[in-house]
Structure 1
Amino acid sequence: MNYPNVVITKCNDYVNEEVYRTIKSSVDLLGGIGAFVKKGERILLKPNLLSANPPEAAITTHPAVVGAVIRLVQEAGAVPLVGDSPGIGSAVKVSQKCGIAAVAKDLGAEVINLSTSVEVENPSGKTFKRLEIAKESMEVDGIINLPKLKTHTQMFLTLGVKNMFGCVVGARKPQWHMAAGSDSYAFARMLIDTYLFLKPRLTIVDGIVGLEGDGPGSGGDPRQIGLLFASSDCIAMDRVVTEVLGGKANDLPTTKVAEEDDIGETDIYRINILGENIDDVRISDFKFPPLVGIEFKLPLSLHSYLRNPLTARPIINNKECTLCNICVDICPPNIMTKTDRINIDYDKCIRCFCCLEMCPEGAISVKDGWLKRIISSL
């Protein structure tokens, strides 16, 4: 049986040539860039462009990583395009702030907005038989996925599978959060169906500096990790990254769902790890977010009484909040309002934590319900 390959390589900083050499050596272990890109093809490079932040914030894929992959694609005789669909703003504007636009311009690559939403049939989907995908992501010959290694308050980590959610147009993302509701496993199944539909040819995770704590936005803390990961199989690769960081397989909802639905390989012992020995790169003190997006299964008669005490919720730090209204505008169920402060209707909150994700000030954090805190301490 052929097990999936995942490459782990060390890279300590974002010096352009060092990043290029490291990524090239990683891809060479997988068969070389020619195994993924052919001459004349148009290849979408899909970084994480969550929001307009500088590279040192570790919220977006670093421009040195994007630049290295642009060069590899060009060396293969293909045409690289850099694109995403941020939750707020356009890929073009966000890429200017995070340094990717300048790198793309220097290398002669175009940055495009994934902005045209189309409905597509997904007959092979395990759960979602119809998806809404950016048309631009389907008009290329192939995709190279470039996620940033970050924590995620709803999905535990945002890695290869989750990064493909950026191919859903930003304005349509709230609809999919609402479709899944407060069930993180339902949302994970949508993410996996989207990933399998688009099936990037290659994924390279920027883990040179990652984000820990209350990610994936300004609430998280940059963390030096010094690693890059590469694979053609996101499910296997996400499992390896979780293992390196010290997480458990089922902590990551997409991994748990993939195992339950027999999609891909989630057994760490059935994944070929190339490059560094995994035992030499394990991290013992990485700060994960609390598992806040998965509710206890309650009888209907008790749900309204125990939902808030048993679940975590977003809370506003009014001293740091600037009342910019971004969280109110982005909230999928529209249960946030602005007066002299931001108010949240917790009875209707679906715990998607989009507000925390998009807050530019890091003024939103996570607080466990009182009963959840007691149970967690037992």
Structure 2
Amino acid sequence: MPQRFHGDPLGRVPAPRGAGAFLSRRDFLKWQVRGALWLAAGTVGMAGAAGLAGPCRALADDTPDLALATGRPAAATRAAVGLLGGMAAFVTPGSRVVIKPNMSFPNPPEAATTTHPEVVRELVVLCREAGAARIMVLDHTLYDVGACLERSGVADSCESVIRGIVHGLSDPRFYREVPIPDGASMKTTRVMADVLDADVLISAPVAKSHSSAGVSLSMKNMMGLIFDRGVMHSGHDLSVAIVDLNTLLKPALVVVDATRVLTTNGPGGPGKVDALDTVIASRDPVAADARTVILSEWYGRRFAPRQVRHIALAHERGLGRMDVENLREARVSV
């Protein structure tokens, strides 16, 4: 089995140097106003089978790389996205949006194996407010689709906003074979057609441990958008394959649900759940995952991002930054 963490255990990892202090409500509103004044030039899009592109909108000089909000799930989600300029910084009127939560297990939210339904619902609301023409909430569940969507609470929560948008896709007819031009090991895969045809991809994972990958966060979350995730375990080094997949599937926005974290016995639990009441948002999936690693204990210990192999590999291959101590961070409590 691939090693989950590598390097010597570091014990407790201190908070990143230079991380922003908690914002006052006045400062939080100022961030939102600045975000609203960003240039509207450019679009947030994806380049189909050639690789899904991240945001290409002009950014304010003081836009944080990482946004952390603590509070109730919906309020924290809105606040974290707000610190990055609001959903309008990612979704333009008429956009086709895919939101990818984790809905793979038929467990209630308190088990922390699936994304909190209020986090996903708030993302749907934010996309609608930004003028999205089509919003889909998609996953390829590991267990019975109906049970997963119902017991996770995601279907009822999101469809109270817009009906018919939450789907678990297991039929191969919903997928298209595409090359992975920058794959080191995995060179091709079948991706959900709706993802390939979307303008904006939002990754919304729950923060949890994983018996093979160490942690399951935004990069690992992309495995729920392909038809055959099993081959990533059996036919490749899992950490390398995760990075390969993330060279193809590049979310414009990452929103990590760390409102409660499954710190042991992931990904399916039951395990130790820590209530951290935190949502982390970023344009950079590597940074978001690295910051989440620092935020929580895992298996009763503290680890550095470099000790999670797929995070370290993604950093080395230029997919994002794990040196979160050198990134700009904004925090707010709501």
TM-score normalised over the length of structure 2: 0.73
Letter aligned with residue 293 of structure 2: T
Letter aligned with residue 68 of structure 2: I
Letter aligned with residue 149 of structure 1: A
Letter aligned with residue 35 of structure 1: A
* Structure 1 runs not aligned, ≥5 long: 181-185, 278-378
Deviation at 1:69? 0.7
Deviation at 1:197? 1.0
Deviation at 1:240? 1.1
1:67/1:103 contact within 8 Å kept: yes
CA distance in 2, matches of 1:3, 1:41: 23
1:151/1:220 contact within 8 Å kept: no
Deviation at 1:167? 0.5
Identity of aligned residues (%): 29
What residue number does 1:237 align with?
Answer: 288
CA distance in 1, matches of 2:230, 2:242: 14
What residue number does 1:197 align with?
Answer: 248
2:63/2:84 contact within 8 Å kept: no
CA distance in 2, matches of 1:208, 1:94: 20
What residue number does 1:227 align with?
Answer: 278
2:106/2:149 contact within 8 Å kept: yes
2:65 is equivalent to residue 5 of structure 1: yes
Structure-to-structure mapping, 1:182-331, within 5 angstroms: 186-245=237-296, 246-275=302-331
Match of 2:128 among 66, 74, 88: 74
2:175 is equivalent to residue 117 of structure 1: yes
What residue number does 1:57 align with?
Answer: 111
Match of 1:86 among 133, 141, 148: 141
Deviation at 1:95? 1.1
CA distance in 2, matches of 1:228, 1:205: 6
CA distance in 1, matches of 2:198, 2:319: 25
Match of 2:80 among 3, 26, 39: 26
What residue number does 1:38 align with?
Answer: 92
CA distance in 2, matches of 1:52, 1:152: 17
The verdict on how the C-alpha distance between 1:241 and 1:138 changes in structure 2, with shifts beyond 3 A counting, is: same
Letter aligned with residue 187 of structure 1: L
Deviation at 1:40? 1.5
CA distance in 2, matches of 1:96, 1:9: 27
TM-score normalised over the length of structure 1: 0.65
Deviation at 1:163? 0.7
Deviation at 1:174? 1.6
2:78/2:126 contact within 8 Å kept: yes
Q: Which moved more, 1:29-38 or 1:115-124?
A: 115-124
Q: Aligned pair count?
A: 263
The verdict on how the C-alpha distance between 1:263 and 1:215 changes in structure 2, with shifts beyond 3 A counting, is: same
The verdict on how the C-alpha distance between 1:235 and 1:3 changes in structure 2, with shifts beyond 3 A counting, is: farther
1:156/1:251 contact within 8 Å kept: no
> Per-residue CA shift, 1:51-86, capped at 9, x if unaligned?
111122111111111111111011011132111001
Deviation at 1:118? 2.6
CA distance in 1, matches of 2:193, 2:103: 18
> Per-residue CA shift, 1:91-135, capped at 9, x if unaligned?
x54111211111122111411233333321121334433223222
Deviation at 1:212? 1.3
Point out 4+ residue stretches in structure 1 off by more than 4 angstroms. 1-4
Instruction: Give the number of the structure whose alpha-carbon radius of gyration is greater.
Output: 1
2:202/2:253 contact within 8 Å kept: yes
Q: Report the aligned-residue RMSD.
A: 2.2
Deviation at 1:2? 9.8
What residue number does 2:210 align with?
Answer: 152
CA distance in 1, matches of 2:315, 2:109: 34
1:4/1:236 contact within 8 Å kept: no
CA distance in 1, matches of 2:290, 2:76: 21
The verdict on how the C-alpha distance between 1:36 and 1:272 changes in structure 2, with shifts beyond 3 A counting, is: same
CA distance in 2, matches of 1:259, 1:3: 21
The verdict on how the C-alpha distance between 1:138 and 1:177 changes in structure 2, with shifts beyond 3 A counting, is: same
CA distance in 2, matches of 1:127, 1:260: 16
CA distance in 1, matches of 2:273, 2:314: 29
What residue number does 2:158 align with?
Answer: 104
What residue number does 1:140 align with?
Answer: 198
The verdict on how the C-alpha distance between 1:155 and 1:69 changes in structure 2, with shifts beyond 3 A counting, is: same
CA distance in 1, matches of 2:275, 2:254: 20
Letter aligned with residue 196 of structure 2: M
The verdict on how the C-alpha distance between 1:3 and 1:123 changes in structure 2, with shifts beyond 3 A counting, is: farther
What residue number does 2:58 align with?
Answer: none
CA distance in 1, matches of 2:68, 2:303: 17
CA distance in 1, matches of 2:324, 2:123: 27
The verdict on how the C-alpha distance between 1:262 and 1:4 changes in structure 2, with shifts beyond 3 A counting, is: farther
